[in-house]
Structure 1
Amino acid sequence: MLVKQNVILEFYRTLQRDICNVPLDSLAKKRLSLYVHREFRNPISRNDKNDLLYKRLENGKQLQELLEGVRLKGDCMAVKRLLGIAFIDSQPIKERLPSWLYRFVHAHRTGRYNRIMLYENYGMLLKTRHLIDRFQSNKPLLKNYYSKLAESMFESTPDSQTISQIINGEKPSIDEKYAQKQCCDDDIALLMKLRVQYKSKVQTKTKAPSFDVDIPPSRFGLPLTHPRLFNLVVNKLAKIQDYFGRYTPLSVADLEYLDRLVVSDFLKQNPSVCRGYDEFIRVSFAISDDAMVILPKLNLRIFPASENLLEYYKKAGE
């Protein structure tokens, strides 16, 4: 037991010393230090298994390798990873997202009550389209489909919604407990605006999800049942939640801090980490309360052409 405690304590001190010696800015080092403190603050008890100790040391070892990579050779990828820990991983997501986006990303979606509330609050975010409309040449098929769809508007059961409620964005018929929470039109408008901002300003590995829901007919060319329609809408909302939750921003304050850091003397005094900072800052962004994606000023800077480049174009034009 005492041996375990000593191992953890000594390794913790080593990591803290490495953080002090790494050529990163003061705020990044402060947050890395707090991050390590949180990871190692829980003492090893008699009931802890060896694999828990191993996992803690393994995570610390990975961080130590990143710190050594930056300190010894200014490793670009290590700089970016450490900055990611300092400005993203170690910061509560609630502090980095506007309140309306945080509410949407963290809205519960498991269990019937939560799925109904997700649909009730955000169902209007989506537009629906019937895939049966592709068969415009088959008039009898379309007539039968929309006839059945119209009939279903009058159907209602305690456990499902009518098709008209789902298709037309009406609130589901649920008891008074569910109905207390109203759909927030402002949040929906901001989410729609944010999606446009993401598509034009944020580089993501995953394509921004569409806000359209394709409603296929059944294999008999008839409208889908109420539960299937409801699940299509909720599952689409869940995908949008995952997307915004995966590509999260810095806080506005942190982005402004990094903007100031770029024009300070810090990077001039620490040239070994310039590339890592440059690449991290260029792909960073923040989101304002009015759903505007804020890009770093570094992306807007115009650098003067070198003398050699000017001379080249001058000769080429002669």
Structure 2
Amino acid sequence: MPNVGFIGAGFIASRHAAAVTAAGARIVAVHDVDHAKAFAFAECNRAIASNSLSDLLATESIDAVFVCVPPDAHGAVEQALVDRRVPFFVEKPLPPNLDMARAISASIDRAGLMTSVGYHWRHLDRLEDVRLMLAESPAHMAVAQWHDGFPTVPWWGCQARSGGQVVEQATHLIDLCRLLLGEVVGIRALSSRSVPTAGRATGADVASSSAALVEFATGSIAVLASSCTLPRRHTVALELICEGRAITLTEDVMTVVDGARTVRLMCDRDPFAAQAETFLRALEGGPSDSLVSYTDALLSHEVAVAIADTARGARKL
């Protein structure tokens, strides 16, 4: 298995680190602008804490890097990896600045570099069951919901830094809608003008809730609703309404209502472990068709940003 470096040592990096080590890879180095976090992460993973990005990239044994930085910290990190021809996995979302995201994507394409983006819902073990059912009976409508608490990390509540809840969280559901229903051809959206109470003390400016109606080239439609006003996670799910059948998918379970019959199947595989193993195996020459390339991820990201921008710019009658 490859030797892996980490850029970013926060919560999501720790989750990916557990998946990487479970897959048999070795974490050899980490860099974070918060040196205390980097040293703690390094100690937990028996790695070296690098004082700078250049120091980390100078580590000769690194075969790939996991990029786990806040949305607005992207750009120079990815370009440095492209310049060094180091394959990388990057946690979503991509930069809220679409020009930057597109420039990174173009650089990756020119370099022919292997990348993967952390849309881990694509690695749910029940997703293939969903795709088979949709091949029998396509979805007329999707209802995507992400109702959750307000994250405490300082960058999350800043629209310019995170892109807001649709871009930072609900993008997972948007990506699945693209995968299952096709490309987006139309968007209508609204967001509340209020800021969540939990974020007011920190100067947050993200909307407390939003709703979007999305049209796909296949003729299907989707309703996306999100909110970050609750004390904890409440509903995160994608429901697909087909001819005579309803399919609901969460990270934990798939529920199928088919006539009078209801079937519930648990999602037994950890999608973080599955996506890490897929990326690491691909680095060694294994199949890469299930990786979410940066180019593909950019299409989902562009939809998420378009929904957020449309919602913020909508006017009331």
Superposition TM-score, scaled by structure 2 size = 0.22
Larger helix proportion of the pair: 1
Looking at secondary structure, tell me which structure has more strand per residue. 2
Q: TM-score, normalised by structure 1?
A: 0.22
